[in-house]
């Protein structure tokens, strides 16, 4: 009887869908890999100029169009905009990505044995957003369904001169290398069309700062901007340049047949971040014909990218329980950052040390390396700040269409420690087949050693908003600390069989939900722990000819998925797996066939 009643209700639902011209899928989220179309072309060229000199060039371009979907806008919510979408809608973000790169250079060897390489490389990437199947609710029935939300572009041009020479008769061998680099970076944001970023009033007139926007028949405010991705505003638009010059010197000497020492130094000068000098000192000691130990210490410097300095926009962000928040990402040059006491971005500096062992005996090889990397003034995304009732901040937030604000800041110091192990064994088998076995293992740990809270924020009692436990969890425990990769390749001149098993260690959900049952009933600091899993890949290839290869295979052959998300985070079963962790994805088994043709 229960099954019969279910069938009856299902028939009634289907009849209603038919009357509306809809189907059940119209009320579903679309979760998983975005729809993609892409194409690419690359080529290279080499022209001998003389016996020891050649002119070379390489480059290409690629285009990719993607389509991904956001949260379903149910018809009973203000964002559903019942005037133009009485049945709700599932908004999509179409991205058009264009990459292009080109390099040209000349290299050769002088009569004195010096190797000289002079080159220039240019690369550019553009990312345009078109928002589809969506609405600007404040335009009511007059809203279009497609919006031009703007774009951004980054390009970089680098000119390099590299010179090196190897001296066989100094010590047991000495290599000298030095060179220089000049680089120009360029970052742009282009505003979208007005209807993609504007809130309108009931008369279809743009509001000032989003105040006085349109309302529905119940007096509820109708949000502006294109739903799922509001367009870049004229205030977001930017056009910024940076140039830098660098020089390096590297010397590597075999003091004896068993002892090698190398020293590398690099000087850089930035148009906006001053100067820096860094070094690396490394050594290798040969213990025997089979085993060696190696070690290195070095310093590092990374200036904030132009994107980190000048990217800004507002967007709808859904928290762990599906509540929508309008959050603005403001630059550190902004008035909002100044009022909250968040300083301008500065460079990151690092210090690292490593120690390793390498070995080879017969057909077996192994390397083991332990390392520690400390980073000071690391740039991360802050927590979310509200306006605190401050009238100036309220006005700034309203103008950006945001209820809360985030910033990139030199918020923390971190320490990363780990061990990398790589082992291999290769042996011959029957009928000219060889079996190549390899194991790669990584064990790592990242911890936050200091939170650099600005004084104004600390005095206001907002340290938790600046960098909270959730942000720390994203960095330290939301991705696997352990990863193992065991690969076996059986091959001869015609056939190749590959079997790979990858273990992804456990991860911890950064969202806290008190009182809910965790994975396997375990609770740790009110955060769910998702257990480690093994993913198996299998491919078979056949060389049909010298130029033609056919391959069939399966990624995630055994169709393994992460542990289930906890009920309170599933948004009515829309997200069965966590959106907050990065383990190995949740798209399941992927079968493929590939035909490769090589022109020689």
pLDDT by residue for the chain (600 residues), tens digit each? 344 444 454 566 577 667 767 776 666 778 778 889 999 999 999 999 999 999 999 999 999 999 999 888 877 666 666 677 777 888 999 999 999 999 999 999 999 999 999 999 999 999 999 999 999 989 988 999 999 999 999 999 999 999 999 999 999 999 999 999 999 999 999 999 999 999 999 999 998 776 788 888 778 888 888 988 999 999 999 999 999 999 999 999 999 999 999 999 999 999 988 899 999 999 999 999 999 999 999 999 999 999 999 999 887 776 655 566 778 899 998 888 888 889 999 999 999 999 999 999 999 999 999 999 999 999 999 988 887 777 888 888 877 777 888 999 999 999 999 999 999 999 988 778 999 999 999 999 999 999 999 998 888 888 888 988 888 888 898 899 999 999 999 999 899 999 999 999 999 888 765 444 444 445 444 678 899 999 999 999 999 998 899 999 999 999 999 988 877 677 667 778 887 787 888 889 999 999 988 876
Residues β-bridged to residue 81: none
**Angle at CA 98, nearest 5°, toward 93 and 101?**
155
HEC letters along 508-540 = EEEEECCCCCCHHHCCECCEEEECCEEEEEEEE
Global pTM reads 0.85
CB 86: neighbour CB atoms within 10 A?
Answer: 12
Note whether 40 and 98 are within 8 A (CB).
no
Residues β-bridged to residue 212: none
Output b/e per residue, 551-560; b: 16+ Cβ within 10 A: eebbbbbeee
* Helix residue ranges, H only, 341-468: 391-399, 455-459, 463-466
pLDDT of res. 22 = 72
Q: What is the mean pLDDT of the chain?
A: 88
Write the burial class of residue 197 (CB in 10 Å: 0-12 exposed, 13-18 middle, 19+ buried).
buried
Distance CA 254, CA 192 (A): 59
CA 341 to chain centre: 28
Of 114, 157, 308, 304, whose CA–CA distance to 245 is shortest? 157
Q: Count Cα neighbours of 579 within 13 Å in the Cβ-side half-sphere.
A: 18
């Amino acid at each position: 009887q229960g099954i019969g009643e279910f069938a009856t209700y299902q028939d009634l639902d289907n009849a209603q869908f038919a009357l509306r011209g809809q189907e059940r899928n119209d009320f579903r989220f679309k979760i998983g890999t975005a729809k993609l179309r892409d194409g690419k072309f690359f080529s290279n060229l080499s022209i001998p100029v003389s016996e020891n000199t050649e002119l070379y060039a390489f480059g290409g371009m690629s285009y990719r169009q993607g389509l991904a979907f956001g949260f379903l806008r149910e018809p009973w919510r203000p964002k559903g905009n019942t005037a133009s979408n009485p049945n709700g809608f599932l908004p999509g973000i179409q991205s058009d990505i264009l990459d292009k790169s080109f390099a040209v250079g000349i290299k050769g060897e002088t009569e004195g044995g010096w190797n000289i390489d002079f080159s220039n490389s240019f690369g550019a990437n553009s990312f345009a957003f078109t928002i589809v199947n969506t609405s600007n609710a404040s335009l009511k029935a007059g809203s279009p369904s497609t919006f031009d939300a703007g774009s951004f572009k980054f390009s970089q041009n680098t000119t390099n001169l590299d010179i090196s020479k190897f001296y066989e008769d100094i010590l047991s061998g000495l290599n000298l290398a030095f060179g220089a680099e000049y680089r120009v970076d360029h970052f742009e944001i282009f505003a979208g069309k007005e209807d993609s970023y504007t809130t309108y009033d009931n008369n279809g007139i743009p509001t000032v700062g989003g105040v006085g926007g349109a309302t529905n028949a119940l007096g509820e405010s109708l949000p502006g901007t294109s739903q799922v991705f509001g367009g870049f505003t004229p205030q977001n638009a930017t056009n910024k340049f940076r140039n830098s010059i660098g020089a390096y010197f590297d010397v590597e000497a075999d003091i004896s047949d068993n002892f090698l020492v190398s020293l590398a130094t690099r000087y850089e000068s930035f148009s906006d971040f001053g100067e820096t000098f860094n070094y690396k000192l490394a050594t290798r000691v040969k213990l025997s014909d089979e085993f060696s130990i190696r070690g290195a210490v070095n310093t590092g410097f990374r200036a904030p990218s132009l994107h980190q300095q000048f990217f800004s926009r507002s967007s709808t962000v859904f928290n762990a329980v599906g509540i929508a928040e309008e959050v603005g990402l403001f630059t550190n040059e902004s008035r909002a950052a100044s009022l909250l006491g968040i300083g301008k971005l500065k460079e990151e500096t690092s210090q690292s040390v490593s120690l390793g062992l390498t070995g080879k005996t017969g057909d077996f090889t192994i390397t083991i390396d332990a390392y520690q990397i400390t980073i000071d003034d690391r740039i991360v995304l802050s927590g979310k700040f509200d306006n605190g009732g401050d009238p100036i901040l309220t006005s700034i937030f309203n103008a950006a269409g945001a209820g809360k604000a985030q910033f990139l800041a030199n918020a923390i110091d971190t320490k990363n420690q780990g061990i990398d192990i790589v082992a291999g064994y290769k042996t011959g088998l029957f009928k000219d087949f060889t079996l190549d076995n390899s194991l790669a293992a990584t064990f790592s740990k990242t911890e936050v050693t200091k939170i650099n809270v600005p004084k104004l924020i600390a005095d206001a009692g907002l340290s938790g908003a600046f960098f909270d436990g959730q942000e720390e969890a994203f960095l330290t425990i939301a991705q696997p600390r352990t990863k193992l990769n065991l690969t076996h390749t059986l091959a001869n001149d015609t056939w190749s069989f590959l079997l790979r098993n990858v273990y992804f260690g456990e991860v911890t959900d950064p969202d806290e939900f008190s009182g809910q049952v965790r994975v396997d009933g375990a609770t740790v600091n009110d955060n769910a722990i998702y257990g480690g899993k093994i993913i198996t890949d299998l491919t078979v290839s056949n060389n049909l000819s010298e130029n033609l290869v056919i391959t069939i295979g399966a990624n995630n052959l055994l169709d393994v998925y992460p542990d289930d998300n906890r009920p309170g985070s599933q948004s009515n079963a829309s997200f069965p797996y966590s959106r907050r962790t990065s383990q190995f994805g949740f798209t399941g088994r992927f079968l493929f066939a590939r035909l490769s043709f090589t022109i020689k």
